[in-house]
């Protein structure tokens, strides 16, 4: 069963605007972690932001913020003031602590920032 769902099609975003990438997850564990990674065309995986299941406040890292709604099992990424360098694939991932600490990835969102 798919644990991480990212269903948005490819997105075009105007430079300097904000963009929200949706992510929903499925788990029966109480303890888990949620991650967002950026993957540019070079292929490297760049860590953006982390949210623990027990964290009461939404995580923020510079222009990235995570809108964590635990009851709805969603962990949307918000990128503010988009830059051309933000064009990439974005993956949501979940770590279940009882699953050998492995990460399960969603299918990803393609974002293209246009000037």
Partner 1 sequence: GAVVSQHPSWVICKSGTSVKIECRSLDFQATTMFWYRQFPKQSLMLMATSNEGSKATYEQGVEKDKFLINHASLTLSTLTVTSAHPEDSSFYICSANGAANPYGYTFGSGTRLTVV
- The Cα-based distances of 48 to 60, 62, 71, 109, 110 in angstroms read 9, 9, 23, 14, 15
- Pick out residues in 36-65 that bind partner 1 (CB under 8 A): 37, 42-45, 47, 50
Q: Which is nearer to partner 1, 14 or 60 (CB)?
A: 60
**Run of H or E including 12:** strand 11-14
Q: Which is nearer to partner 1, 13 or 49 (CB)?
A: 49
Binding status of residue 11 toward partner 1 by CB under 8 A: no
- Pick out residues in 86-105 that bind partner 1 (CB under 8 A): 91, 95, 100-105
Binding status of residue 106 toward partner 1 by CB under 8 A: yes
Q: Are 65 and 50 in contact (CB under 8 A)?
A: no
Q: What is the C-alpha to C-alpha distance for residues 4 and 2, in angstroms, rounded to an integer?
A: 6
Q: For partner 1, which stretch binds (CB under 8 A), given 17-25, 67-75, 76-84, 106-114?
A: 106-114
3-class DSSP state of 92: strand
Q: How far is the CB of 35 from partner 1 (least distance, A)?
A: 7
């Amino acid at each position: 069963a798919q644990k991480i769902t990212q269903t948005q099609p490819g997105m075009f975003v105007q430079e300097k605007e904000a963009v929200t990438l949706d992510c929903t997850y499925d788990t029966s564990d109480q303890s888990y972690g949620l991650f967002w990674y950026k993957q540019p065309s070079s292929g490297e995986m760049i860590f953006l932001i982390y949210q623990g299941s027990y964290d009461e406040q939404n995580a923020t890292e510079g222009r990235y913020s995570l809108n964590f709604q635990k009851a709805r099992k969603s962990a949307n990424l918000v990128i503010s003031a988009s830059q051309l360098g933000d064009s990439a694939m974005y993956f949501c991932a979940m770590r279940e602590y009882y699953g050998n600490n492995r990460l399960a990835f969603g299918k990803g969102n393609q974002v293209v920032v246009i000037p």
